[in-house]
Amino acid sequence: FGIPSDETFVITTTNRKEVTEDNFSDLVHDGVTLYLLQSVDQMLLLATKERIDFLPHYDTLVKSGMYEYYASEGQNPLPFALAELIDNSLSATSQNTGIRSIQIKLLFDDSQGKPAVAVIDNGSGMTSKQLNNWAVYRLSKFTRQGDFESDHSGYVRPLPVPRSLNSDISYFGVGGKQAVFFVGQSARMISKPAASQDVHELVLSKEDF
């Protein structure tokens, strides 16, 4: 720093706690801002800037379904949540040349784990990257990487019709995650892309968060 050898200085945190040999390991870590000063109480000559890196709290995802469906104006929200859960199956089977198979199973057998809702289809499947994209909150069909266009140009929204095999349920990439954490506490997605022998599994769990 170009400090003359005969000049004294101190290193402090932004709350003016001096960094010493004794507390160095406790105070210094990646991303912390430090001041190099002539004394602990020296006045700063200029305004300083500090970069803050953060991730939203996991409650943003885990509690979003509760907020969404409890605001359903007195309607029974469960059918809407179940409709969101089969959205991936609707998309995955839309290009099938043969039979479209979508099964919804309610599992109450504790011997297989906790009760669960299972949605099973014979669609095109998802790669690990596509599973990762699905897991990202607020990543819409317009901005997903992979099999979706990056903007509106390659996507034509279906005509508004009642919720059915030809409707467009989760238009902005949020509904599936909201539905999962409204109905339960975790999601497990197991998928095998049609053109691959690999099976990919994704788990989103409140307990893991």
Q: pLDDT tens digits for 5-41?
A: 899 999 998 889 899 988 888 776 666 788 999 999 9
What pLDDT score does 141 carry? 55
Phi, psi dihedrals of residue 74, rounded to the nearest 5°: 80, -5
| Statement: residue 148 has pLDDT above 70 | no
pLDDT confidence of residue 154 = 43
pTM over 0.75, yes/no: no
Give the whole-number percent of the chain exceeding pLDDT 90.
Answer: 23
Burial 82-111 (b: 16+ CB within 10 A, else e): bbbbbbbbbbbbeeeeeebebeeeeeeeee
Q: Would you say residue 153 has pLDDT above 60?
A: no
**Range of lowest pLDDT (11-25, 136-150, 190-204):** 136-150
What is the C-alpha to C-alpha distance for residues 3 and 172, in angstroms, rounded to an integer? 55
Please report the pLDDT score of residue 73 as a whole number. 59
187 burial via Cβ count (<10 Å: 0-12, 13-18, 19+): buried
Q: What is the total residue count of the chain?
A: 209
Half-sphere exposure in the Cβ direction for 199 (13 Å, CA)? 3
> What whole-number distance in Å separates Cα of residue 103 and Cα of residue 60?
30
**pLDDT of 51 strictly over 70:** yes
pLDDT of residue 132: 85
The matching CATH number, chosen from 3.30.450, 2.40.128, 3.40.50, 3.30.565, for 58-147+166-205 is 3.30.565
Q: In the chain, where are the structural domains located?
A: 1-54, 58-147+166-205
Mean pLDDT of 126-145: 73
Give the integer Cα–Cα distance in Å for 12 and 173.
Answer: 45
Instruction: State percent of the chain over pLDDT 70.
Output: 77
pLDDT beyond 80 at 126: yes
pLDDT at residue 62 above 90?
A: no
φ and ψ at residue 93, rounded to 5 degrees: -100, 0
CA–CA separation, 204 vs 58, rounded Å? 11
Q: What single-letter amino acid sits at 43?
A: M
Is the per-residue pLDDT at 171 higher than 50? no
* Residues whose CB is less than 8 angstroms from the CB of residue 108 and which lie 6 or more positions away in sequence, other chains included: 115
What is the structure's pLDDT at 166? 55
